[in-house]
Amino acid sequence: MPQPRFAVALTQGAEDDLEEIHAYLAEQRSPDDADALLDECLSVIESLESFPARGAVPKELDALGIRDFRQVLMRQYRLIYRVIDHTVFILLIADGRRDMQALLERRVLGR
């Protein structure tokens, strides 16, 4: 029996994140590396259509008792998302070396 498919939606913030990361990598490394990361990200996003529960709860949110969000790792980047009904909302794509606690509080929790 085939797995149910979920819709995947990128928030404006996640789209902006992806564009900024792509532009940074294209300038600092190479356009090929930027395109490779974009392809990797799109592959991960596509996989969430079939397996939205595959990601782990971000440790910063888990420590606060918040388990409604999940993450998938790509290189040093973290893709943070939430599943509501049959839609996966991608909220944030960020370098995991950033201050993730502050970033998650601001962008995901709206604090």
Model confidence pLDDT, tens digit, residues 58-79: 998 888 898 999 999 988 999 9
- Residue 46 belongs to some domain of the structure: yes
For residue 1, being part of any structural domain is answered with: no
The answer to whether residue 14 is domain-embedded is: yes
Contacts 24+ apart (CB under 8 A), 47-56: 48/6, 48/8, 48/72, 48/81, 48/88, 48/90, 49/5, 49/6, 49/7, 49/8, 49/88, 50/3, 50/5, 50/6, 51/3, 52/6, 52/81, 52/83, 52/88, 53/83, 55/79, 55/81
Domain total in the chain: 1
Residue 55: inside a domain, yes or no? yes
The domain containing residue 40 runs over which residues?
7-107
Task: Please indicate, yes or no, if residue 34 is contained in any of the structural domains.
Answer: yes
Per-residue pLDDT of 33-43, as tens digits, reads 999 999 999 99
CATH number, domain at 70?
3.30.2310.20
Q: Can you give the pLDDT at residue 2?
A: 57
